Amino acid sequence: MTIKYFAYGSNLHSERLGERLGRRLSPEYGGELRGYSLRFHKRSFKDGSGKCDAYKTGDPSDVVHGVIYNLSVDEKSELDLCEGLGLGYDEGKVVVTRIEAGEGMDVEETAVVYIASETHIDPKLNVYGWYRGYVLAGALYHGFPRAYIEMIKGITTVNDPDLFRSEVEMKLVEELSKRSESNEMLWG
């Protein structure tokens, strides 16, 4: 049995998610979560910094771009631990509109997603540069729209006070970024 998982934040990049789960991954397709906005207001259970959230606004003009991965039940359980399910993220089921290059058709499917718990939302949180880097590398890798990429680039960041972690994470982000910049834009 597989589970459709909608990745929109630091798990966007196939190689990053694959490293976390111990196997090579390719997304099934790209999609849009309509009526949601990408926010960096979820308090990390590890360090208190800002992490991504697909925040439900109900405004149809708000869209979170992401990709669908098929995960086994065991992989989903492993990802639950990595993401801190129950420690700031709740699992939700959302309707994702599939984006298929050249097709122009709206096909909707249900997927699981991590949504910030109300108790862990704080719009004043600091976002570390390396964390935003993971999200940006994934958005570039999957060819998200230019305006969306620019929005991510515009997120204000701060330096991680843990210098060792920051150095390690930035090296990983740089490696992913090298593989991301040459991809074609799938969504115009």
User: Is the pTM higher than 0.85?
Assistant: yes
CA distance 145 to 122: 27
Q: Which residues contact 67 (CB under 8 A, 6 or more apart)?
A: 6, 7, 12, 14, 27, 28, 29, 30, 31, 142
Q: Cα–Cα distance between 168 and 104 in angstroms, integer?
A: 41
Strand partners, 30: 67, 99
Q: E strand or H helix at 133, and its extent?
A: helix 129-141
Task: Give the model's pLDDT for residue 112.
Answer: 97
* Total number of residues shown for the chain: 188
Q: pLDDT per position in the chain (188 positions), as tens? A: 899 999 999 999 999 999 999 999 888 889 999 999 999 999 998 899 999 999 999 999 999 999 999 999 999 999 999 999 999 999 999 999 988 655 566 789 999 999 999 999 999 999 999 999 999 999 999 999 999 999 999 999 999 999 999 999 999 999 998 876 555 444 44
Domains of the chain: 2-178 (3.10.490.10)
Cα(92)–Cα(84) distance, integer angstroms: 14
**Contact (CB, 8 A) for 121 and 134:** no
Contact 82, 9 (CB under 8 A): no
Residue closest to 139 by CA, chosen among 82, 183, 80: 183
Tell me the C-alpha to C-alpha distance, in Å, between residue 186 and each of 66, 74, 100, 104, 119: 12, 31, 8, 12, 35
- Residue 102 has a pLDDT of 53
pLDDT of residue 178: 83
